[in-house]
């Protein structure tokens, strides 16, 4: 499945680089309809996930480039947040109206926070915070979409537990560590995989919280204990989002 997903991503990202990136596709390929903001936000999300799953630097490079396109074409420098479409002086009818939707901006904010964690470029965190701040007065009115907004605020305000599994996917020990990582209860959890060197048959898990990393462990109980010990040293990660962004 990962191979197929990466092939699809590379096809779409190739279109984004060469020009025919569209919101609408058919069997004949992309249509003439331009890509909306949400298309770029999901592309950024996919690139960050691909980088996490493969540790391939080119995915991170492309994520940086896509984030710049999002800011240049869609970001509101005055009020924060991203518009749904590009500014077009020749647009007619409803296409003249640029809107900001909570769900689109939440997806973008989460991806930008991940990009900040990978690059340590503070600009991405500031843009993500400005994006979430743009909805502080209205998120309560957005029904189930407010839940994703709350998760994005939590991701912004608290460090992510990064668990990198180093091994061979077909190895039982690697599979057990992956399953153990997926069972961890931490709300901000980023699981990554790295292929071990040939001849290295011992699967290992590397645990990091912000800039603190622990020695690798090689069993599920040790992984659970390492994460619990590291996170218990921090203040409780749970915050009331109504205190962070009080609104009305």
Quick one: 41 exposed, middle or buried, by C-beta within 10 A (0-12, 13-18, 19+)?
buried
Question: Is the same domain home to 153 and 65?
Answer: yes
**pLDDT at residue 12 greater than cutoff 80:** yes
User: Considering the domain boundaries, does residue 182 fall inside one?
Assistant: yes
**pLDDT at residue 132 greater than cutoff 70:** yes
Q: What is the DSSP letter of 140?
A: G
Confidence class of residue 166 from pLDDT cuts 50, 70 and 90? very high
**pLDDT at residue 235 greater than cutoff 70:** no
Confidence class of residue 238 from pLDDT cuts 50, 70 and 90? very low
State the average pLDDT over residues 45-65.
94
Range of the domain at 227: 161-232
Question: Is the same domain home to 132 and 73?
Answer: yes
Count of domains observed in the chain = 2
State the average pLDDT over residues 98-123.
95
User: Considering the domain boundaries, does residue 246 fall inside one?
Assistant: no
> How far apart are the C-alpha atoms of 40 and 61, rounded to whole Å?
15
Q: pLDDT exceeding 70 applies to what percent of the chain?
A: 92
Question: Is the same domain home to 145 and 165?
Answer: no
Question: Is the same domain home to 9 and 65?
Answer: yes
Q: Which of 34, 58, 39 is closest to 47 using CA atoms?
A: 58
In this prediction, residue 247 carries a pLDDT of 52
> How far apart are the C-alpha atoms of 229 and 236, rounded to whole Å?
13
Query: Which pTM value belongs to this model?
Result: 0.83
Question: Is the same domain home to 115 and 194?
Answer: no
Q: Which of residues 125, 157, 189 is at a domain's end?
A: 157
* CATH code: domain of residue 183: 3.40.30.10
């Amino acid at each position: 499945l990962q191979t197929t997903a990466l092939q699809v991503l590379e096809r779409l990202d190739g279109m984004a680089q060469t020009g025919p990136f569209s919101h609408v596709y058919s069997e004949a390929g992309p249509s003439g309809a331009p890509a909306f903001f949400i298309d770029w936000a999901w592309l950024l999300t996919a690139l960050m996930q691909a980088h996490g799953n493969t540790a391939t630097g080119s995915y991170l490079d492309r994520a940086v480039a896509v984030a710049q396109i999002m800011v240049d074409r869609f970001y509101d420098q005055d009020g924060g947040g991203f518009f749904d479409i590009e500014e077009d002086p020749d647009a007619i009818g409803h296409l003249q109206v640029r809107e900001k939707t909570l769900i689109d901006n939440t997806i973008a904010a989460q991806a930008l926070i991940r990009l900040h964690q990978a690059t340590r470029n503070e600009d991405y965190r500031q843009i993500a915070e400005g994006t979430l701040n743009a909805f502080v007065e209205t998120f309560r009115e957005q029904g189930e979409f407010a839940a994703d907004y709350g998760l994005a605020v939590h991701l912004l305000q608290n460090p992510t537990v990064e668990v990198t599994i180093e091994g061979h996917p077909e190895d039982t020990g690697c599979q057990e560590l992956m399953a153990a990582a997926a069972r961890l209860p931490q709300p901000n959890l980023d699981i990554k995989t790295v292929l071990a060197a040939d001849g290295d048959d011992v699967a290992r898990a590397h645990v990091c919280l912000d800039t603190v990393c622990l020695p690798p462990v090689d069993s599920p109980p040790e992984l659970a204990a390492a994460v619990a010990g590291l996170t218990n040293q921090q203040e409780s990660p749970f915050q009331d989002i109504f205190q962070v962004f009080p609104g009305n």
